[in-house]
Amino acid sequence: MPPVRSTDQRDQTVPRHNPVLQRARKAPVKPRRPWLFITGAILLLAVSGWVLAIILAPAFQHTIVVTSGADGGIYRGFADRYAPILKQKGITLDIRSSSGSVENYQRLKDPRSEYQVGFIQSGTTRPKETDDLKTIAAVSYEPIWVFYRGDTTIDRLAQLRGERISIGVPGSGLLNVALQLLAYSGVSGDNTTLLQMDAAKAYQSLENGQLDAAFFIGRPDAEMQRTLLNSNLKLMSFAQADALVQKFPSLSKVIFPRGSTSIANDRPSADVTLLAATALLVAKESLHPAFVYLLLDAASAVHGREDYFTPLGKFPNVNTDEFPVSDESIRYFKSGRPFLQRYLPFWLASFVERRLLILLPFAALLLGVLQALPRIAETRIKNRLVVWYREVKLLEDEIWRSDRPGREQISQWSEEIEQIDAHANQIRLPQRYLPDIYALKQAIDVVRGRISYMARQTEK
């Protein structure tokens, strides 16, 4: 019977590398670097960074860039009134002047531009789905005023044929709407002198007789409108307003009441029918929802009051279809500011409300992964033992199948079981798996005992 080596002898003869397993025909699982945990940690770190960036983006962004319109114009006036309201929330409104509605649209639809929000006059553009713009709210009527000189009363645009008319400046919404209205009334550059002037120059040209009529746009309390309404110039009343509104749905019919300029002087001396475009507050799709709510609050404070043309609460609203209306605006006008917006910082409340539905499935998946990782790790660890259990079992099966093994066969079995035992001693596992290691060693001892028994039977 071949001698069975002691434990000390086995420790001194431990091979420096794992042998090829004789029966499982599979290399033993060597201790490896925990790539699974490293990969999982990197993934979790990346996801956490992404989520944190979404949450904190508006917290670190304190400026909204708005393209407002001409200095002294109606849009600039709106922006100047928004600024202090937003400042109370810690947001700076960076106001950038432009020539008007058309230029504002061009700026906003450029995805590379720094402009985030702007005012656009209804009917002055033909939006495309690829513009990636959204309406925050319709905020105000923009009355169109036509002032003229002469003794003849003018109440139809066709009566201006052959005259000298100022129609606004390039890039403005006024220029666009004036050309449309005049063309529909049979007035064009072929039969009339159409001049492009800003409001101040047009007023001076009317006063000194260089113009016969001029288009203006703005609220009656604006400085230029007050000047015009208190001058000796005549204000045209649109007798065909109903027909024009049917033709141009972006326009509305409004009434400037008798005596609105001066009750004492009865100016105007009769109700004046005007056409009005609608000022739209438009933003890029990329504008954070938290800022949409802040802008809606500012718009409500500035435009919610009663005026000459609208009852209390008429504006702001979402009664427009020129650009898609933002989801936040629909929610705002349906049920007011979200509940969390009243008690949490605006950026955090918006994240919870808007992102939660998106993150819930992801969170469930992430939770499942986190729960699976320990099981996967445990399986990988135990596989280091299973491969040797399998080898021990296959060796034992071979021993039981052999009725009369020779000395050489028994010697080979003894060598194999000692190699398996030596490698079992090399396995490095967390302490909680020590019972599994000793269970493997017990299995090895069982097979070793069977080999010893077969050796004794052979000696007889």
335-352 confidence digits (pLDDT tens): 887 666 667 766 666 566
Instruction: Give 165 or 392, the one with higher predicted confidence.
Output: 165
The answer on 200 and 283 residing in a single domain is: yes
The interaxial angle of helices 74-87 and 289-303, nearest 10 deg, is: 120
**Token pair recorded at residue 91:** 């947001």
157: nearest Cα among 213, 101, 195, 204: 213
Q: Is residue 356 part of a domain?
A: no
Task: Read off the CATH number of the domain in which 84 is found.
Answer: 3.40.190.10
Residue 83 has pLDDT above 90, yes or no: yes
pLDDT of residue 347: 61
Residue 15 has pLDDT above 60, yes or no: no
Q: Is residue 36 part of a domain?
A: no
The answer on 167 and 237 residing in a single domain is: yes
pLDDT of residue 289: 82
pLDDT interval class at 2 (50, 70, 90): very low
Residue 383 has pLDDT above 80, yes or no: no
- For 353-415, give the DSSP string: HHHHHHHHHHHHHHHHHHHHHHHHHHHHHHHHHHHHHHHHHHHHHHHHH-SS--HHHHHHHHH
Instruction: Give 58 or 336, the one with higher predicted confidence.
Output: 336
- Percent of the chain scored above 70 by pLDDT? 83
Are residues 434 and 26 in contact, defined by beta-carbon separation less than 8 angstroms?
no
| Mean pLDDT, range 329-340, rounded to an integer | 83
Enclosing domain of residue 444: 7-31+381-459
pLDDT of residue 58: 53
The answer on 180 and 239 residing in a single domain is: yes
The answer on 255 and 325 residing in a single domain is: yes
| Mean pLDDT, range 134-163, rounded to an integer | 96
Q: Is residue 421 part of a domain?
A: yes
The answer on 24 and 69 residing in a single domain is: no
Asked which of 56-60, 93-97, 228-232, 234-238 is least confident by mean pLDDT, the reply is 56-60
Q: Is residue 44 part of a domain?
A: no
| Cα pseudo-dihedral 149, 152, 155, 159, rounded to 10 | -90
Instruction: Give 348 or 289, the one with higher predicted confidence.
Output: 289
Residue 354 has pLDDT above 70, yes or no: no
Give the domain-ending residue among 305, 337, 369: 337
Residue 86 has pLDDT above 90, yes or no: yes
Please classify residue 306 by burial: count the beta carbons closer than 10 Å to its beta carbon, then call 0-12 exposed, 13-18 middle and 19+ buried.
exposed
Bridge partner list, 92: 63
Instruction: Give 181 or 430, the one with higher predicted confidence.
Output: 181
The answer on 149 and 89 residing in a single domain is: yes
Burial per residue of 80-114, b for 16 or more beta-carbon CB atoms within 10 angstroms, e otherwise: eebbebbeeeebebbbebbbbbbbbbbbbbeeeee
Tens of pLDDT, residues 268-283: 999 999 999 999 999 9
Please classify residue 2 by burial: count the beta carbons closer than 10 Å to its beta carbon, then call 0-12 exposed, 13-18 middle and 19+ buried.
middle
Asked which of 19-28, 159-168, 237-246, 275-284 is least confident by mean pLDDT, the reply is 19-28
pLDDT of residue 7: 38
Phi, psi of 137 (to 5 degrees): -170, 155
Contacts of 431 (CB under 8 A, 6+ apart): none
pLDDT of residue 337: 75
pLDDT of residue 353: 58
The answer on 106 and 25 residing in a single domain is: no
Are residues 276 and 141 in contact, defined by beta-carbon separation less than 8 angstroms?
yes
The answer on 281 and 394 residing in a single domain is: no
Q: Which amino acid is at 347?
A: W
The answer on 87 and 24 residing in a single domain is: no
Give the domain-ending residue among 274, 306, 337: 337
Q: Is residue 363 part of a domain?
A: no
The answer on 261 and 397 residing in a single domain is: no
Q: How many domains does the chain have?
A: 2
The answer on 389 and 307 residing in a single domain is: no
Average pLDDT, the chain: 84
Residue 150 has pLDDT above 50, yes or no: yes
**Token pair recorded at residue 400:** 């039981």
Please classify residue 433 by burial: count the beta carbons closer than 10 Å to its beta carbon, then call 0-12 exposed, 13-18 middle and 19+ buried.
middle
The answer on 389 and 290 residing in a single domain is: no
